């Protein structure tokens, strides 16, 4: 089974659009499904896609040591296994945890397009 790092944006626009509830739903769903040991959920910085928020980024945890100076907490890195979700709601987040994290099956219909304009 894969391990993941799930980041929910904590920028002002994403917070105004409900990212606190999205993060709470992620934590609750991970705990209720017993997935917390294999998926770290945290609050990332602003990814710059404010008009598409709340934004969530999920990356495979490959065991590489986290660099505290890395921009991964506030930008897409283009790494294999990285998925960017936009316009997230608590309901969408629960589905992402159930499918992406629990079954290693990303939910393509929720993918964000970083090139989409405001």
CATH topology of domain 3-110: Glutaredoxin (3.40.30)
Say whether 9 sits in a helix, a strand or coil.
strand
pTM for the full model?
0.92
pLDDT tens digit sequence for 55-74? 999 999 988 877 777 788 88
pLDDT tens digit sequence for 85-109? 999 999 999 999 999 999 999 999 9
How is the chain split into domains, by residue range?
3-110
């Amino acid at each position: 089974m894969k391990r993941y790092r799930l980041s929910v944006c904590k920028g002002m626009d994403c917070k105004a659009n409900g990212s606190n509830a999205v993060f709470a739903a992620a934590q609750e769903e991970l705990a209720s499904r017993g997935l917390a040991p294999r998926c770290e959920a945290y609050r990332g910085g602003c990814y710059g896609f404010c008009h598409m928020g709340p934004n969530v980024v999920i990356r495979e945890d490959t065991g590489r040591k986290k660099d505290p100076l890395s921009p991964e907490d506030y930008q897409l890195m283009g790494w294999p296994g990285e998925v960017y979700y936009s316009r997230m709601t608590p309901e969408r987040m629960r589905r992402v945890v159930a499918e992406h994290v629990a079954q290693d099956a990303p939910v393509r219909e929720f993918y964000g397009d970083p090139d989409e304009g405001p």
